[in-house]
Structure 1
Amino acid sequence: MAEPKQLFLNLFEMACVSHITHGLWPLPGNNRHRFAELDYWTELAGILENGGFDGVFLADVIGAYDVFRGGPETALREGLQSPNIDPLLVIPAMAAVTKRLGFGVTFSTTYEPPFAFARRMSTLDHLTKGRVGWNVVTSYLPNAAHNFGLDGEVPHDLRYEYADEYLDVLYKLWEGSWDDDAVIADRERGIYTDPAKVRYIDHVGERHRVSGPHIVHPSPQRTPVIFQATGSPAGIEFAGRHAEAVFTGGRTSEEFRRNADTMREAAVRHGRRSDDIKFIAMAGVVVGRTEEEAADKWRLYQQHSSLDGILAHSSLPVDLTAFPRDITVAEALRRAEVAPERVPFLPLERTVGQALDFISGSRDDRFFVAGTPTVVADEIERWLDEDGLDGINLRQYHSFDTARDFAELVVPELRKRGRLPEEGSQPGTLRERLFGAGNSRVPDRHIASRYRGGANLANPVEPLRLAGAGNVASF
């Protein structure tokens, strides 16, 4: 009989007050306001490590949400991802008080040069003993582009072409610049590194020129686990080439499976196996010792949820709250002089009230459950076995109650069913937790491996070309 499929369990975090559950930070006992205190992160790390979590996933943005109502005021009032501290800097503190917990961290490929980032990630992989992954993003906020000297956003598909070269540079540095045995630490001869086993990469591309060599010796994973969140055609093609774990979702089982299948097909197109990508969805779990307790918690969270925060987070270019609830969305857009093409996700034929109700409840989709530990575990097993999900990013409604509730009530039930490792399981690298013991490095079929041992450094890989990417003269 086959072993039950195990869940990869992440807590979804961000170093800010209001991440994705807006309006809840003032709730009694909520610690969100402590996000800039080191103790917040070490305390959280202990809860997750002792509570059976595999990792904490740290989101990030590099701009303000200033589209809704024409400025950042709503987002600032809500604490919506601003203020927001650098997530890379909290990882060493969390790693110092844990042995097993993994870390996924977000960083954009669009605005900052690759050489310095390669150094930071190799450093984190060393300090965590191989427990770090990178969520590759290309940045979507207009304000982020302005912060780095551009007149506007780089077109979506072109950002992915830029990202493809960015990763090519990183792979050359991480995989090709140093041999595994370059560091010899020969005390008798006074030689620390064998120069014959370190090389320049001499990358000359359309956007980057990087000589190398990498300034950090090989870390446990060399290349950190590559995460990606996507659903667009360009993102799917990019994921097929690079991603090892993809954050995706769907309002129905069929939609999720369709999204996952398109990425599996993209992986095969790029010479990989269909199971080389794991799929992780953001999940909402509200658990109580009784159904009544769980229902009370969920009612509290719904009552305090902020519609303004949700609308600002959506970067909605029209303030629907300023219009009567009984007129259609199409009429509201006409009065606001906003072209429907700017809001393709809004149902034009519905009333403003219906649209606002849909937006405020749109996060409670397929991957949401409220109930007792048994009810929650049953639903998670359906996600694993019926939908084909590999893991979840647990959405936080309350810090630290969401994590504590899951650890104390749900984890024991999942362990009884063989869905999580037993308490005290041996630490390993993040990639090993995802793909099994002995898999600390990217497999030979991953594009990063082509540079191992210094191979192909003078033979650049064909760039990923995406139809309709366009050009940006100002960049």
Structure 2
Amino acid sequence: MSDKKRLILNLFEMNCVSHITHGLWRLPDNNRERFNDIEYWTELAQLLEEGGFDAVFLADVIGTYDVFRGSAATAIRQGLQIPNNDPASVVPAMAAVTKHLGFGITFSTTYEPPFAWARRLSTLDHLTKGRVGWNIVTSYLPNAARNFGHDGEVEHDNRFERADEYLDVLYKLWEGSWDEDAIVADRDGNRFADPAKIRPIHHEGEYFKVEGPHLPSPSRQRTPVLFTATASAAGTKFAGKHAEVVFTGGPTAEALQKTIAGIRAAAVAAGRRADDVRFITIAGVVVAPTEAEAKEKFARYQELASADGYLAHASLPWDPTAFPPDTKVGDVATGLEGRLSRFRVIDPEQTVGELLEGFGDLGRQPLLAVGDPEQVADEIERWLDEVGIDGINLLQYHSHDTARDFIDLVVPVLRDRGRLRREYDERETLRDRIFGDGDRLPDRHFGTRYRGGAHLPVSGITDPSDSKDTH
């Protein structure tokens, strides 16, 4: 009998009150409003590590949701990702109280320069001893563009072109700027590092000009684990070239399978293997000792779910709540036919009431498991084996009860079924945990083309003190 596919288990988090379960921050004993407190993050990290989670996946946005109703007021009233703090800043606190938990940090390539981000990620990889991953995004909010000096949103495919060059700069810094043995730590000779084994990158491209060298020395992973979150055509090509783990979804399991197949094909076209990419999707899990108790809990969640929050999150350019429920969508919202919003497909033949039914309905989550531990484990296994995912980002309805319930009730079942490990490997990095093939990018990944200074214009930094006086 072949080994069963092991589940990649992440918790989906964000440094804010209302991430993607809008309205549920009001649940009794929910801790969402404590997100400003360092104890929120240290308690969560320790809980996840005790439960054997692979990582906490930290989402982020750099603007407000201000399209719906023409203002950010709805998002602000709902606490919808505002207030919102930097996700990377909480990683050192969580790393300090854990030894194994990984961290997936969302950061956009569109508005901030690559040199500073490369330095911050290398620093975090050092501090965590190789437990860091980066969720590469290109930002989609119009307010994000205006926050960084643009009049409007950068065009979608152009954002991916910029991201491709951004990654090229980072690979040069992470993989090529320092040789592995550049640090010599020669106390007697007063020589800490060898200039000949450290090189500038002298990158000059369409979007970026970076001299280098990289300021940090090589970290455990050099390049952190590379995540992307995508399903678009441009995103698929980008993921095929760069991504190691893709966070993706769709309205149905069949749509997700189509995305997986497309990205695997793109990876092969980029000179990689189809199985070089792992796929994770969001999972809604409400579990209790009995099915009846789980359904009762889910019903309480449904009662507090806020349709307004989901409407604002979808960035709808019109307000369906302003029209009678029997109004045809096509009569009041033109030019949106077939548009896939963040939560629904817009059909002009629908009534406004029919469209609104899906907003705030927690039951529309494609991977949704509400039941006892065995039922939940059955559904997760079905998605692993039949749909073809490799892991989940566990959606939080209640902090920290969602994670605690999963750990107490579902983790033991998945372990008994061979889907989760029973303990961590003491020395593994996040990449080695996911792929079991070492700490570094595999040689067939594009980013490794700069290793040892290959494809860079200089071999090392000239040291004038090495020249000899011949007179």
Q: Distance in 2 between matches of 1:341 and 1:458?
A: 51
Q: Distance in 2 between matches of 1:254 and 1:352?
A: 27
Give RMSD over aligned pairs.
1.3
Q: 1:359 is paired with a residue of what secondary structure?
A: coil
Query: Would you say the 8 A contact 2:337–2:346 is kept in 1?
Result: no
Could you tell me which residue of structure 1 aligns to residue 259 of structure 2?
Answer: 259
Alignment map for 1:320-339 (pairs within 5 Å):
320-333=320-333, 338-339=334-335
Q: Distance in 1 between matches of 2:216 and 2:426?
A: 27
The Cα of 1:360 is off from its aligned counterpart by 3.1
The answer to whether 1:301 aligns with 2:301 is: yes
Q: 1:110 is paired with a residue of what secondary structure?
A: coil
Could you tell me which residue of structure 2 aligns to residue 469 of structure 1?
Answer: none
Q: Distance in 2 between matches of 1:85 and 1:252?
A: 32
Q: Distance in 2 between matches of 1:287 and 1:342?
A: 35
Residues 16-60 of structure 1 show CA distances to partners (whole Å, capped at 9, x for unaligned) of 000000001011100000001100000000110001111000000
Could you tell me which runs of 5 or more consecutive residues in structure 2 were left unpaired when the two chains were aligned.
459-471
Alignment map for 1:52-91 (pairs within 5 Å):
52-91=52-91
Query: Would you say the 8 A contact 2:358–2:364 is kept in 1?
Result: no
The Cα of 1:365 is off from its aligned counterpart by 3.4
Could you tell me which residue of structure 2 aligns to residue 269 of structure 1?
Answer: 269
Could you tell me which runs of 5 or more consecutive residues in structure 1 were left unpaired when the two chains were aligned.
460-475
Query: Structure 1 segments of 4 or more deviating over 6 A?
Result: none
The answer to whether 1:387 aligns with 2:387 is: yes
Query: Would you say the 8 A contact 2:100–2:424 is kept in 1?
Result: no
The Cα of 1:425 is off from its aligned counterpart by 4.2
Residues 185-235 of structure 1 show CA distances to partners (whole Å, capped at 9, x for unaligned) of 112212111111100100010111100000000000000011001011000
Q: 2:129 is paired with a residue of what secondary structure?
A: coil
Q: 2:66 is paired with a residue of what secondary structure?
A: coil
Q: Distance in 2 between matches of 1:424 and 1:282?
A: 23
The Cα of 1:424 is off from its aligned counterpart by 4.8
Matched to 2:438, the amino acid is N
Alignment map for 1:49-448 (pairs within 5 Å):
49-333=49-333, 338-340=334-336, 343=339, 345-361=345-361, 364-436=364-436, 438-448=437-447
The answer to whether 1:451 aligns with 2:447 is: no
The Cα of 1:3 is off from its aligned counterpart by 1.1
Query: Would you say the 8 A contact 2:21–2:397 is kept in 1?
Result: yes
Q: Distance in 1 between matches of 2:385 and 2:335?
A: 43
Residues 364-383 of structure 1 show CA distances to partners (whole Å, capped at 9, x for unaligned) of 33311100000001111111
TM-score by length of 2: 0.94
Q: Distance in 1 between matches of 2:29 and 2:449?
A: 51
Could you tell me which residue of structure 1 aligns to residue 469 of structure 2?
Answer: none
The Cα of 1:343 is off from its aligned counterpart by 4.6
Residues 262-320 of structure 1 show CA distances to partners (whole Å, capped at 9, x for unaligned) of 00000010000000100000110000011111011100111100000000000011110
Matched to 1:442, the amino acid is L
Q: 1:340 is paired with a residue of what secondary structure?
A: coil
Q: Distance in 1 between matches of 2:401 and 2:114?
A: 38
Q: 1:42 is paired with a residue of what secondary structure?
A: helix
Query: Would you say the 8 A contact 1:317–1:342 is kept in 2?
Result: no
Q: Distance in 1 between matches of 2:302 and 2:331?
A: 29
Q: Distance in 2 between matches of 1:287 and 1:302?
A: 15
* Alpha carbons of structure 1 residues 127 and 18: separation in structure 2 relative to 1, 3 Å: same
Residues 57-91 of structure 1 show CA distances to partners (whole Å, capped at 9, x for unaligned) of 00000001100011000000000000000010000
**Overall identity of the aligned pairs, in %:** 63
The Cα of 1:362 is off from its aligned counterpart by 7.1
Query: Would you say the 8 A contact 2:172–2:201 is kept in 1?
Result: yes
The Cα of 1:342 is off from its aligned counterpart by 9.5
Q: Distance in 2 between matches of 1:31 and 1:326?
A: 39
Q: 2:63 is paired with a residue of what secondary structure?
A: coil
